[in-house]
Amino acid sequence: MTDAAPEFLRFTGHHAFAQRLTLSTLTGRPVHISKIRSSSPTNPGLAPHEISFLRLLEAITNGSSTQISYTGTTITYQPGLITGCIAGLGASDGDIIEHNLPPLCRRGVTYFLFPLCLLAPFSKAHMNVRFTGAGVITSATEAGDVSVDTFRTAVLPLFSQFGIPPVRIELRVLQRSCVGSAGYGGGGSVELRFASQVRLPKTLHLNRSPGRIKRIRGVAYCTGVSASNNARMIHSAREVLNPFVSDVHIAAQYDQAPLVPTGDKAGSKKRLGIGFGLSLVAESSATGVLYSADVVVPPVGGVVPEEIGKRCAYQLLDTIARGGCVSPISAQMMLVLMAMGSEDVGRLRIGRDVLGTEDLVRLARDLRTFGASSWGLRDVEDDDTGDIIISVKGTGVGNVGRKIA
Protein backbone atom coordinates (compact mmCIF):
# COMPACT_ATOMS: atom_id res chain seq x y z
CA MET A 1 0.00 0.00 0.00
CA THR A 2 1.51 3.30 -1.10
CA ASP A 3 1.55 6.43 1.03
CA ALA A 4 -0.99 9.10 0.19
CA ALA A 5 0.27 12.10 -1.73
CA PRO A 6 1.10 15.05 0.53
CA GLU A 7 -1.57 17.70 0.84
CA PHE A 8 -0.26 21.08 -0.33
CA LEU A 9 -1.05 24.28 1.54
CA ARG A 10 -2.17 26.76 -1.09
CA PHE A 11 -1.29 30.45 -1.21
CA THR A 12 -1.53 33.18 -3.83
CA GLY A 13 0.66 36.18 -4.61
CA HIS A 14 4.29 37.02 -3.98
CA HIS A 15 3.79 38.66 -0.60
CA ALA A 16 5.57 36.92 2.31
CA PHE A 17 7.19 34.53 -0.18
CA ALA A 18 10.29 33.85 1.93
CA GLN A 19 8.25 33.70 5.13
CA ARG A 20 5.93 31.00 3.80
CA LEU A 21 8.77 28.89 2.45
CA THR A 22 10.54 29.20 5.80
CA LEU A 23 7.46 28.04 7.69
CA SER A 24 7.07 25.20 5.20
CA THR A 25 10.65 24.07 5.88
CA LEU A 26 10.23 24.32 9.66
CA THR A 27 6.94 22.40 9.80
CA GLY A 28 7.54 19.98 6.90
CA ARG A 29 4.31 21.01 5.16
CA PRO A 30 4.54 21.32 1.33
CA VAL A 31 3.17 24.49 -0.24
CA HIS A 32 1.70 25.53 -3.58
CA ILE A 33 1.98 29.23 -4.43
CA SER A 34 0.19 30.58 -7.51
CA LYS A 35 -0.52 33.92 -9.20
CA ILE A 36 2.97 35.26 -8.49
CA ARG A 37 2.88 38.69 -10.19
CA SER A 38 0.57 37.20 -12.81
CA SER A 39 -0.94 40.61 -13.57
CA SER A 40 2.43 42.26 -14.28
CA PRO A 41 2.78 42.98 -18.02
CA THR A 42 6.58 43.35 -17.95
CA ASN A 43 7.94 41.14 -15.13
CA PRO A 44 5.54 38.31 -14.31
CA GLY A 45 6.58 35.41 -12.10
CA LEU A 46 9.43 35.04 -9.65
CA ALA A 47 11.89 37.90 -9.13
CA PRO A 48 15.69 37.27 -9.12
CA HIS A 49 15.90 37.45 -5.32
CA GLU A 50 13.09 34.90 -4.93
CA ILE A 51 14.76 32.44 -7.29
CA SER A 52 18.01 32.93 -5.38
CA PHE A 53 16.20 32.22 -2.10
CA LEU A 54 14.89 28.93 -3.51
CA ARG A 55 18.46 27.97 -4.42
CA LEU A 56 19.59 28.86 -0.91
CA LEU A 57 16.94 26.56 0.58
CA GLU A 58 18.12 23.79 -1.72
CA ALA A 59 21.72 24.29 -0.52
CA ILE A 60 20.97 24.14 3.22
CA THR A 61 18.44 21.27 3.10
CA ASN A 62 18.53 17.65 1.99
CA GLY A 63 15.60 16.21 0.06
CA SER A 64 13.75 19.42 -0.76
CA SER A 65 12.05 19.64 -4.15
CA THR A 66 10.87 22.69 -6.09
CA GLN A 67 8.84 22.80 -9.30
CA ILE A 68 8.35 26.09 -11.13
CA SER A 69 5.86 26.63 -13.96
CA TYR A 70 7.00 27.77 -17.40
CA THR A 71 5.89 31.37 -16.74
CA GLY A 72 7.29 31.37 -13.20
CA THR A 73 3.92 32.39 -11.72
CA THR A 74 3.31 29.08 -9.93
CA ILE A 75 5.61 26.96 -7.76
CA THR A 76 5.30 23.87 -5.59
CA TYR A 77 7.77 23.31 -2.78
CA GLN A 78 8.28 20.12 -0.79
CA PRO A 79 10.63 20.75 2.15
CA GLY A 80 13.48 18.50 3.19
CA LEU A 81 15.61 18.08 6.30
CA ILE A 82 17.55 21.16 7.41
CA THR A 83 21.14 19.95 7.26
CA GLY A 84 23.33 23.06 7.23
CA CYS A 85 26.99 22.52 6.36
CA ILE A 86 27.37 18.77 5.90
CA ALA A 87 30.11 17.57 3.55
CA GLY A 88 28.69 16.42 0.25
CA LEU A 89 25.25 17.97 0.81
CA GLY A 90 25.90 21.62 0.07
CA ALA A 91 29.14 22.83 1.64
CA SER A 92 31.25 23.99 -1.29
CA ASP A 93 34.27 25.48 0.48
CA GLY A 94 35.29 23.37 3.45
CA ASP A 95 32.78 24.11 6.18
CA ILE A 96 30.91 26.95 4.46
CA ILE A 97 28.26 27.25 1.77
CA GLU A 98 28.99 29.79 -0.96
CA HIS A 99 25.82 31.50 -2.18
CA ASN A 100 26.05 33.87 -5.12
CA LEU A 101 23.40 36.57 -5.47
CA PRO A 102 22.44 37.64 -9.02
CA PRO A 103 23.36 41.14 -10.28
CA LEU A 104 19.68 42.13 -10.67
CA CYS A 105 18.89 41.51 -7.00
CA ARG A 106 17.00 44.47 -5.52
CA ARG A 107 16.73 43.19 -1.95
CA GLY A 108 19.31 43.60 0.79
CA VAL A 109 21.23 40.62 2.11
CA THR A 110 19.12 40.70 5.28
CA TYR A 111 16.21 39.46 3.14
CA PHE A 112 18.11 36.14 3.16
CA LEU A 113 19.60 36.42 6.66
CA PHE A 114 16.25 36.62 8.50
CA PRO A 115 14.87 33.26 7.26
CA LEU A 116 18.34 31.71 7.44
CA CYS A 117 18.61 32.54 11.14
CA LEU A 118 15.13 31.13 11.74
CA LEU A 119 16.15 27.82 10.15
CA ALA A 120 19.66 27.65 11.64
CA PRO A 121 18.69 26.69 15.24
CA PHE A 122 16.86 23.65 13.85
CA SER A 123 19.70 22.54 11.58
CA LYS A 124 21.50 19.19 11.88
CA ALA A 125 24.93 20.88 11.65
CA HIS A 126 26.32 24.39 11.84
CA MET A 127 24.81 26.89 9.42
CA ASN A 128 27.71 28.70 7.75
CA VAL A 129 26.86 30.66 4.60
CA ARG A 130 28.90 33.24 2.69
CA PHE A 131 26.97 35.60 0.40
CA THR A 132 28.96 36.86 -2.56
CA GLY A 133 28.31 38.19 -6.04
CA ALA A 134 27.26 41.39 -7.74
CA GLY A 135 23.85 41.35 -6.02
CA VAL A 136 24.91 41.54 -2.37
CA ILE A 137 23.64 44.74 -0.74
CA THR A 138 24.75 45.25 2.87
CA SER A 139 22.99 48.58 3.45
CA ALA A 140 19.32 49.24 4.03
CA THR A 141 17.09 49.29 0.95
CA GLU A 142 13.97 51.17 -0.09
CA ALA A 143 12.15 47.81 -0.18
CA GLY A 144 12.26 47.76 3.64
CA ASP A 145 15.33 45.61 4.27
CA VAL A 146 17.55 46.70 7.16
CA SER A 147 21.33 46.92 7.01
CA VAL A 148 23.65 44.19 8.27
CA ASP A 149 24.64 46.52 11.13
CA THR A 150 21.07 46.71 12.43
CA PHE A 151 20.67 42.96 11.97
CA ARG A 152 23.84 42.28 13.95
CA THR A 153 23.18 44.69 16.82
CA ALA A 154 19.36 44.67 17.13
CA VAL A 155 18.27 41.20 15.96
CA LEU A 156 20.96 38.61 16.72
CA PRO A 157 21.14 39.46 20.49
CA LEU A 158 17.44 38.54 20.81
CA PHE A 159 18.21 34.86 20.25
CA SER A 160 19.44 34.72 23.85
CA GLN A 161 15.79 35.04 24.94
CA PHE A 162 15.18 31.58 23.44
CA GLY A 163 18.19 29.82 24.95
CA ILE A 164 20.32 30.27 21.83
CA PRO A 165 23.70 31.81 22.83
CA PRO A 166 24.47 34.83 20.61
CA VAL A 167 28.20 34.34 21.31
CA ARG A 168 28.08 31.37 18.93
CA ILE A 169 26.54 33.47 16.17
CA GLU A 170 28.92 35.53 14.06
CA LEU A 171 28.10 37.90 11.21
CA ARG A 172 31.12 39.15 9.26
CA VAL A 173 30.93 42.00 6.77
CA LEU A 174 33.78 41.29 4.36
CA GLN A 175 32.83 44.01 1.85
CA ARG A 176 30.23 46.72 2.31
CA SER A 177 28.00 47.93 -0.48
CA CYS A 178 24.97 50.16 -0.95
CA VAL A 179 22.35 49.81 -3.66
CA GLY A 180 23.58 50.43 -7.21
CA SER A 181 22.55 53.54 -9.10
CA ALA A 182 19.98 51.55 -11.11
CA GLY A 183 18.27 50.33 -7.92
CA TYR A 184 19.79 46.85 -7.89
CA GLY A 185 23.13 45.15 -7.33
CA GLY A 186 25.85 45.97 -4.88
CA GLY A 187 28.87 43.67 -4.97
CA GLY A 188 29.33 43.24 -1.23
CA SER A 189 30.28 40.13 0.74
CA VAL A 190 28.78 38.86 4.01
CA GLU A 191 29.45 35.71 6.01
CA LEU A 192 27.11 34.20 8.62
CA ARG A 193 28.33 31.51 11.03
CA PHE A 194 25.51 30.12 13.16
CA ALA A 195 26.82 27.46 15.56
CA SER A 196 23.91 27.35 18.04
CA GLN A 197 21.63 24.41 17.32
CA VAL A 198 18.97 23.44 19.90
CA ARG A 199 16.30 20.79 20.32
CA LEU A 200 13.61 23.30 21.23
CA PRO A 201 13.71 27.09 21.77
CA LYS A 202 12.92 28.14 25.33
CA THR A 203 9.53 29.60 26.11
CA LEU A 204 9.65 33.40 25.97
CA HIS A 205 8.15 35.58 28.71
CA LEU A 206 8.77 39.18 27.71
CA ASN A 207 5.62 40.80 29.05
CA ARG A 208 7.10 43.20 31.58
CA SER A 209 7.49 46.96 31.28
CA PRO A 210 9.88 47.96 28.48
CA GLY A 211 11.68 50.33 30.85
CA ARG A 212 13.56 53.46 29.86
CA ILE A 213 16.22 54.00 27.21
CA LYS A 214 19.66 53.96 28.83
CA ARG A 215 22.01 54.06 25.83
CA ILE A 216 22.04 54.47 22.06
CA ARG A 217 24.61 52.88 19.76
CA GLY A 218 24.97 53.10 16.01
CA VAL A 219 27.07 52.72 12.90
CA ALA A 220 27.49 55.34 10.19
CA TYR A 221 28.76 53.74 6.99
CA CYS A 222 29.76 54.97 3.57
CA THR A 223 31.18 53.23 0.50
CA GLY A 224 32.95 54.95 -2.34
CA VAL A 225 32.27 58.49 -1.08
CA SER A 226 34.09 60.90 1.22
CA ALA A 227 34.54 59.66 4.78
CA SER A 228 33.45 63.10 6.01
CA ASN A 229 29.86 62.03 5.28
CA ASN A 230 30.03 59.80 8.35
CA ALA A 231 30.92 62.69 10.62
CA ARG A 232 28.13 64.82 9.15
CA MET A 233 25.52 62.07 9.71
CA ILE A 234 26.73 61.46 13.26
CA HIS A 235 26.69 65.16 14.15
CA SER A 236 23.12 65.72 12.89
CA ALA A 237 21.83 62.55 14.61
CA ARG A 238 23.41 63.53 17.93
CA GLU A 239 21.80 66.98 17.71
CA VAL A 240 18.41 65.23 17.90
CA LEU A 241 19.26 62.45 20.38
CA ASN A 242 21.56 64.15 22.91
CA PRO A 243 18.73 66.06 24.68
CA PHE A 244 17.07 62.69 25.48
CA VAL A 245 19.99 60.36 26.24
CA SER A 246 23.49 61.32 27.33
CA ASP A 247 25.08 57.96 26.46
CA VAL A 248 25.15 58.11 22.64
CA HIS A 249 27.99 56.55 20.68
CA ILE A 250 28.00 56.12 16.90
CA ALA A 251 30.92 54.43 15.17
CA ALA A 252 32.08 55.35 11.66
CA GLN A 253 32.82 52.77 8.98
CA TYR A 254 34.37 53.59 5.61
CA ASP A 255 34.95 51.18 2.71
CA GLN A 256 35.89 51.50 -0.92
CA ALA A 257 33.12 50.71 -3.35
CA PRO A 258 33.45 47.10 -4.61
CA LEU A 259 34.70 46.33 -8.11
CA VAL A 260 32.11 44.39 -10.11
CA PRO A 261 32.68 42.88 -13.57
CA THR A 262 30.74 44.62 -16.31
CA GLY A 263 30.30 41.44 -18.33
CA ASP A 264 31.95 42.65 -21.54
CA LYS A 265 34.53 40.69 -23.53
CA ALA A 266 37.40 42.87 -22.31
CA GLY A 267 36.78 41.75 -18.73
CA SER A 268 36.57 45.30 -17.41
CA LYS A 269 35.19 46.18 -13.99
CA LYS A 270 33.37 49.14 -12.48
CA ARG A 271 32.72 50.54 -9.02
CA LEU A 272 29.23 49.70 -7.78
CA GLY A 273 27.24 50.22 -4.59
CA ILE A 274 28.27 53.82 -3.84
CA GLY A 275 26.39 55.52 -1.02
CA PHE A 276 26.07 56.12 2.72
CA GLY A 277 23.66 55.41 5.54
CA LEU A 278 23.12 55.29 9.30
CA SER A 279 21.99 52.53 11.68
CA LEU A 280 20.88 53.27 15.25
CA VAL A 281 19.95 50.93 18.11
CA ALA A 282 18.47 52.02 21.45
CA GLU A 283 18.87 49.72 24.46
CA SER A 284 16.33 49.82 27.27
CA SER A 285 16.92 49.31 30.99
CA ALA A 286 14.82 46.15 30.67
CA THR A 287 16.84 43.12 29.54
CA GLY A 288 16.32 42.11 25.92
CA VAL A 289 14.45 45.22 24.77
CA LEU A 290 16.01 46.83 21.69
CA TYR A 291 14.68 49.45 19.27
CA SER A 292 16.30 50.23 15.94
CA ALA A 293 16.21 52.57 12.98
CA ASP A 294 17.91 52.43 9.60
CA VAL A 295 18.13 55.03 6.84
CA VAL A 296 20.19 55.02 3.65
CA VAL A 297 20.63 57.57 0.87
CA PRO A 298 18.44 56.81 -2.20
CA PRO A 299 20.26 55.23 -5.19
CA VAL A 300 19.63 58.35 -7.27
CA GLY A 301 21.27 60.55 -4.62
CA GLY A 302 20.17 64.11 -4.00
CA VAL A 303 20.05 63.84 -0.18
CA VAL A 304 22.74 65.36 2.05
CA PRO A 305 24.24 63.42 5.00
CA GLU A 306 22.71 65.81 7.54
CA GLU A 307 19.24 64.86 6.31
CA ILE A 308 20.02 61.13 6.61
CA GLY A 309 21.21 61.59 10.19
CA LYS A 310 18.09 63.49 11.23
CA ARG A 311 15.75 61.05 9.50
CA CYS A 312 17.35 58.11 11.27
CA ALA A 313 17.20 59.81 14.66
CA TYR A 314 13.53 60.72 14.26
CA GLN A 315 12.77 57.21 13.00
CA LEU A 316 14.35 55.79 16.15
CA LEU A 317 12.27 58.07 18.35
CA ASP A 318 9.14 57.00 16.47
CA THR A 319 9.99 53.31 16.97
CA ILE A 320 10.45 53.88 20.71
CA ALA A 321 7.16 55.80 20.87
CA ARG A 322 5.30 52.79 19.45
CA GLY A 323 5.96 51.02 22.73
CA GLY A 324 6.14 47.34 23.52
CA CYS A 325 9.18 45.19 24.14
CA VAL A 326 9.96 44.46 20.51
CA SER A 327 10.63 46.61 17.44
CA PRO A 328 8.79 46.08 14.13
CA ILE A 329 11.82 44.54 12.38
CA SER A 330 12.24 41.72 14.92
CA ALA A 331 8.61 41.07 15.90
CA GLN A 332 8.00 38.48 13.16
CA MET A 333 11.16 36.52 13.98
CA MET A 334 10.35 36.36 17.69
CA LEU A 335 6.75 35.27 17.11
CA VAL A 336 7.85 32.49 14.74
CA LEU A 337 10.38 31.17 17.27
CA MET A 338 7.69 31.28 19.96
CA ALA A 339 5.36 29.25 17.75
CA MET A 340 8.09 26.67 17.00
CA GLY A 341 9.11 26.29 20.67
CA SER A 342 8.10 23.88 23.40
CA GLU A 343 4.42 23.17 24.02
CA ASP A 344 4.01 25.92 26.56
CA VAL A 345 2.44 29.36 26.44
CA GLY A 346 4.88 32.23 25.86
CA ARG A 347 4.03 35.89 26.21
CA LEU A 348 5.30 38.97 24.41
CA ARG A 349 4.43 42.60 25.03
CA ILE A 350 4.02 44.48 21.78
CA GLY A 351 2.88 47.96 20.77
CA ARG A 352 -0.60 48.31 19.33
CA ASP A 353 0.70 50.04 16.19
CA VAL A 354 3.27 47.28 15.65
CA LEU A 355 0.69 44.51 16.01
CA GLY A 356 -1.72 46.22 13.61
CA THR A 357 0.64 46.15 10.64
CA GLU A 358 -0.22 44.14 7.54
CA ASP A 359 2.88 41.96 7.89
CA LEU A 360 2.01 40.73 11.41
CA VAL A 361 -1.63 40.08 10.53
CA ARG A 362 -0.48 38.01 7.55
CA LEU A 363 2.00 36.15 9.76
CA ALA A 364 -0.76 35.23 12.23
CA ARG A 365 -2.88 33.82 9.41
CA ASP A 366 0.05 31.91 7.91
CA LEU A 367 1.02 30.37 11.26
CA ARG A 368 -2.52 29.14 11.76
CA THR A 369 -2.53 27.68 8.24
CA PHE A 370 0.67 25.77 9.03
CA GLY A 371 -0.88 24.28 12.17
CA ALA A 372 0.22 26.67 14.90
CA SER A 373 -2.22 27.81 17.58
CA SER A 374 -4.07 31.08 17.28
CA TRP A 375 -2.73 34.02 19.24
CA GLY A 376 -4.32 35.18 22.45
CA LEU A 377 -4.52 38.96 22.84
CA ARG A 378 -5.19 41.07 25.91
CA ASP A 379 -4.53 44.64 26.94
CA VAL A 380 -1.82 45.45 29.45
CA GLU A 381 -3.47 46.02 32.82
CA ASP A 382 -2.82 49.06 35.00
CA ASP A 383 -1.03 50.82 32.18
CA ASP A 384 -2.01 53.68 29.88
CA THR A 385 0.47 52.80 27.12
CA GLY A 386 -2.09 50.83 25.09
CA ASP A 387 0.33 47.90 24.68
CA ILE A 388 -0.96 44.37 24.08
CA ILE A 389 0.20 41.03 25.48
CA ILE A 390 0.34 38.27 22.84
CA SER A 391 0.10 34.71 24.14
CA VAL A 392 1.55 32.07 21.80
CA LYS A 393 1.40 28.31 22.43
CA GLY A 394 4.39 26.47 20.98
CA THR A 395 3.91 23.58 18.57
CA GLY A 396 6.92 21.61 19.79
CA VAL A 397 8.30 21.18 16.26
CA GLY A 398 11.88 21.06 17.49
CA ASN A 399 15.03 19.94 15.72
CA VAL A 400 14.50 16.46 14.26
CA GLY A 401 18.10 16.25 13.07
CA ARG A 402 19.75 16.89 16.45
CA LYS A 403 20.40 14.00 18.83
CA ILE A 404 19.06 14.20 22.36
CA ALA A 405 21.92 14.73 24.81
Please report, for residues 46, 146, 178, 276, 305, the alpha-carbon distance to residue 301 in angstroms, rounded to integers and kept in the order given.
Answer: 29, 19, 12, 10, 10
- Counting every residue, how long is the chain? 405
- pLDDT digits over 277-323, tens only? 999 999 998 888 999 999 999 988 889 999 999 999 999 999 999 98
Beta bridge mates, 66: 77
Asked if 48 contacts 27 with a C-beta cutoff of 8 angstroms, the reply is: no
Instruction: Report domain extents, the chain.
Output: 1-81, 208-322, 328-393
Q: Which CATH number fits domain 328-393: 1.10.540, 3.40.50, 1.10.287, 3.30.1370?
A: 3.30.1370
pTM for this predicted structure? 0.92
Q: 118, 109, 172, 176: which is closest to 143 by C-alpha?
A: 109
208-322 architecture in CATH?
2-Layer Sandwich (3.30)
pLDDT at residue number 404: 42
Q: How confident is the model at residue 400 (pLDDT cuts 50, 70, 90)?
A: low
- Considering the chain, what percentage of its residues have pLDDT values greater than 90? 63
Architecture of domain 1-81: 2-Layer Sandwich (3.30)
Specify burial of residue 272 (Cβ count, 10 A radius: 0-12, 13-18, 19+): buried
Residues 129 and 56: beta-carbon distance below 8 Å: yes
Pairing, β 81-82 against β 61-62: antiparallel
Pairing between strand 269-271 and 275-284?
unpaired
Instruction: Report the sign of the C-alpha dihedral through residues 140, 144, 150, 155, in that order.
Output: negative
Which of 290, 115, 116 lies closest to 206, judged by CA?
290
Per-residue pLDDT band at 209 (split at 50, 70, 90): confident
pLDDT digits (tens, 9 = 90+) for 64-73: 999 999 989 9
pLDDT range class, residue 403, cuts 50, 70, 90:
very low
